[in-house]
Each structure stands twice: as structure tokens, then as C-alpha cells.
């Protein structure tokens, strides 16, 4: 299970099988500015400081150029860690939720369909 470390906070997150960086962040109380969540708008970029990611779906060069990839930029909504990774969030995209809210998000049971009477 790859471990994601958020450089500015030192927070570590265990990434679930096939989980993207963005999904791991949200599951752990981070709120990062996003758009399409499909690899098309480029809003969700983070900087990969260490480690490797893969893309299970094609990401267009117009969204993430070869130069950006070489410099460590990745799309958090599509990038799946394959090793332990360390990332730097871009401050302009970061919105934090309180630790209480993060705890509640982790502890909350998944929504279930309404029960019939």
C-alpha cells in the first residue's frame, strides 16, 4: 500500500488500491480545488517531490505537457501512486477543513439507500 506524504504538513496517508492522489487527499480531510475530475481541466495539479505515479487513463499533452511531467507536476485526479510519494500542494488550490471535520469524514459511514417501511 503506497503511502502519500503531504510535504507542507508532514501528513501521511495510506493510499488504497487504485486510489488517486486526489481521492486520498479528500478521504483524509483535505479540500483541494478541482474542476472536471477527469483529467481534462488541469486545475488539480500538484508537484511530485518524490516517488512515482502512473495514469490508468490517458492524460492529454495539452493538459499535462512532457516538460511538466519531467519537472514532477502531476494531475492529482488521475495520478495513482505506485511507490511511496511525497507531494507539494499548490497553496492557491488548497482549502483546509478542520481536524474535527477530517475526523468526521473518515468516521462517517457511507450513505446507504433509504430503507422502506
In angstroms, the CA 102 to CA 52 distance is 26
**Is the CB of 28 or the CB of 73 nearer to ligand FES?**
73
Nearest distance from C-beta of residue 75 to ligand FES, angstroms = 5
Binding ligand FES (rule: CB under 6 A), the pick from 39, 46, 80, 87 is 39
CB 58 within 8 A of CB 101: no
Q: Which of residues 2-31 bind ligand FES (CB under 6 A)?
A: none
Nearest distance from C-beta of residue 76 to ligand FES, angstroms = 6
Q: Which of residues 58-77 bind ligand FES (CB under 6 A)?
A: 75, 77
Classify residue 42 as left (phi > 0), alpha (psi -120 to 50) or beta.
left
Which one of the spans 23-31, 39-47, 82-90, 98-106 is the region binding ligand FES (CB under 6 A)? 39-47
CB 98 within 8 A of CB 75: no
CA–CA distances in Å: residue 16 to residues 1, 3, 13, 86, 110: 6, 9, 9, 16, 16
**Is the CB of 33 or the CB of 106 nearer to ligand FES?**
33
Q: Which of residues 72-101 bind ligand FES (CB under 6 A)?
A: 75, 77
Going by the DSSP 8-state scheme, the letter that residue 96 receives in this structure is: E
What is the CB-side half-sphere exposure of residue 5 using CA atoms within 13 A? Answer: 11
| Positions that interact with ligand FES (CB under 6 A) | 34-37, 39-44, 75, 77
Amino acid at each position: 500500500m503506497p503511502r502519500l506524504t503531504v510535504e507542507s504538513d508532514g501528513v501521511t496517508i495510506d493510499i488504497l488500491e487504485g486510489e488517486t492522489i486526489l481521492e486520498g487527499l479528500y478521504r483524509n480531510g483535505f479540500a483541494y480545488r478541482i474542476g472536471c475530475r477527469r483529467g481534462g481541466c488541469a486545475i488539480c495539479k500538484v508537484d511530485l517531490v518524490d516517488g512515482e505515479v502512473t495514469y490508468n487513463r490517458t492524460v492529454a499533452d495539452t493538459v499535462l505537457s512532457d516538460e511538466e511531467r519531467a519537472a514532477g507536476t502531476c494531475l492529482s485526479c488521475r495520478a495513482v501512486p505506485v511507490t511511496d510519494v511525497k507531494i507539494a500542494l499548490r497553496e492557491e488550490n488548497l482549502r483546509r477543513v478542520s481536524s474535527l471535520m477530517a475526523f468526521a469524514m473518515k468516521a462517517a459511514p457511507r450513505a446507504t439507500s433509504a430503507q422502506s417501511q
